[in-house]
Every structure is written in C-alpha cells, then in structure tokens.
Amino acid sequence: MSTTFENATTKSVDVNGTSFVLREVGKKGGIPVMLLHHLTAVLDDWDPRVVDGLAAQHHVIAFDNRGVGGSGGSTPKTVEEQAPPTSIRSIFCSLHRRATARYQPTASCSA
C-alpha cells in the first residue's frame, strides 16, 4: 500500500533546539513542496485529498508551526516572528541532513 497523508508517519526534526513535527508524502527528489498554513492550524487540518493530489507529482512536507500542535517552542507574538525566512529552510535542511549519509553543506543549507 502506498503512503497517503492520512497514514504517513508523523516525524519530528530538531531545528536550533526546537522540535517541529511533520509528515512527508510523495516521491523524494527534486524541489519539495512545503505546505504553509495559517497561524494556529495543525497537520490534521490539511485536506488529505489535496495533499495526496500534490504528492502524486511532488515530495510534499507539511509541518506544525512553532508552539502549535505537536511542535515545541512558544507561539510567536507577531507574524514576523512566526516565519523568519530561515525557519522553512532550516526544517528542510534538518531533514536533508538526516536523510543524507554524507551530508555536504550547500549554499542554501550551511552546516
């Protein structure tokens, strides 16, 4: 049976001391589609039909924001604090480090 969003394993990844929970579906490789949602939404708020539709052609990553759902940390007080440009990249790079036995930092994922 292929993995769907509903039966995908919920994983966690550490980003600078904060644990983020996430689910991945679809074939890995290429540029992933990272799903972003409103400030208080959690993984289970995504419509599985939409996620599975995207995953038919892409590697899809959905995650809980900092301090929301299963993710650690405290909820930021402003939108600017919620998603600094490095947060999404840091989640992706942490996943990449975990999956790559011989991790080599790139311009977008420095050590």
Instruction: Note down pLDDT in tens along the chain; length 111 residues.
Output: 478 999 999 999 888 888 989 999 999 887 889 898 877 789 999 999 999 999 999 999 999 888 889 999 888 787 777 655 556 677 777 776 666 554 454 555 654
For the chain, give the number of residues: 111
Distance (Å, whole) CA 71 – CA 63? 8
pLDDT computed for residue 100 by the predictor:
57
- Residue closest to 34 by CA, chosen among 81, 75, 78, 90: 90
pLDDT computed for residue 84 by the predictor:
55
DSSP state, 64? P
pTM assigned to the model: 0.76
Domains and CATH numbers, the chain: 11-99 (3.40.50.1820)
